[in-house]
Every structure is written in C-alpha cells, then in structure tokens.
Amino acid sequence: MRNVSRSQRLRNLGLVPTIQRLAILEYLESTRSHPTAEQVHSEVTKEHPSISKATVYNTLEALSKAGAVLKLTVDRTAARYDADLEPHAHFYCRTCGEVLDVTVDKENWLGERLAGHRVESVRTYAYGICESCLANENEE
Ligand SMILES: [Zn+2]
Ligand SMILES: [Zn+2]
C-alpha cells in the first residue's frame, strides 16, 4: 500500500515513478541519517545493483526539484537529503558529521516579521558538537 501511495505521490509531483526513483525515495523515507548522494548510492545498490552513481545524482536532483525530498546544504562538503517534509530544523555535528533533526515550535518559529508574506519553505541549520561526541570528549 505504501508503494502505491509513493508512486501516486511522484505522479502528483509530475514525476514518472520509475523503479530508481521509487527505490531512492523509499530508502530516504526509511532513514533519519540525512545521507549524501554517495551514501544513497551505496545503500540502494544493495537491492538494485545496476543503479549508477549518475542515476542517483540525477534522481536526487529530480526528487528535490519536484519537492518530494529536501536537499539540505547544512553540510558544506556535500548535499544531504531528507524525505521528512514536516517543518523541522537540523543540527550538524562538526566532529562526526551527523545531521540530526531538531523539532521546532511551528507557531513561534519564524516570529512576527513574516506576517503578510507567504512562506513556502524554511531551512534552519545549527552547528556545533553533538551530545555523543561531547560525551566522548569528556571521557578522554
Ligand atoms: Zn557528533
Ligand atoms: Zn531532517
């Protein structure tokens, strides 16, 4: 049933639901790790060994342009991808490179100065050292 709705969702966004697109979207929906294109490639080729890196890059580009996934620029070294379209912020750990989800107060997140404008998307990035890297630092 999930596969049917995923195909339908891609069609609604104007994308033909190819096997590659569905496989990549399914993988992104299954993870909270905000993978890079390289990581997406190494995961989806476990089940679909014929998908090339170029296809993964092109598919991620098409999915993010159509609004099926978010392309995050939180990591300056590589684009990261997120299938969670609910408004949330991201925390980037400069020690381990993990991108973590941060919940936001949807009512007060943006403040009053946006009144009168139509907000279509928001990207909020926080940078620092994550909890588990801090714990490791303290052990040393
Ligand atoms: Zn960390
Ligand atoms: Zn996220």
Question: Which pTM value belongs to this model?
Answer: 0.87
Compute CA 124 distance to the chain's CA centroid, rounded to the nearest angstrom: 13
| 26 Cα–ligand 2 center, Å | 15
Backbone torsions φ then ψ of 112, nearest 5 degrees = -85, -20
For residue 64, the CA-to-ligand 2 centroid distance in Å is: 14
Task: Kindly state the tokens that stand for 82.
Answer: 């997120």
**Which pLDDT score is estimated for 2?**
58
Q: How far, in Å, is the centroid of ligand 2 from the Cα of 140?
A: 30
pLDDT tens, N- to C-terminus, the chain (140 residues):
455 689 999 999 999 999 999 999 999 999 999 999 999 999 999 999 999 999 999 999 999 999 999 999 999 999 999 999 988 999 999 999 999 999 988 777 777 787 788 887 788 999 999 999 999 988 87
Tell me how far the alpha carbon of residue 127 lies from the centroid of ligand 1, in angstroms. Answer: 10
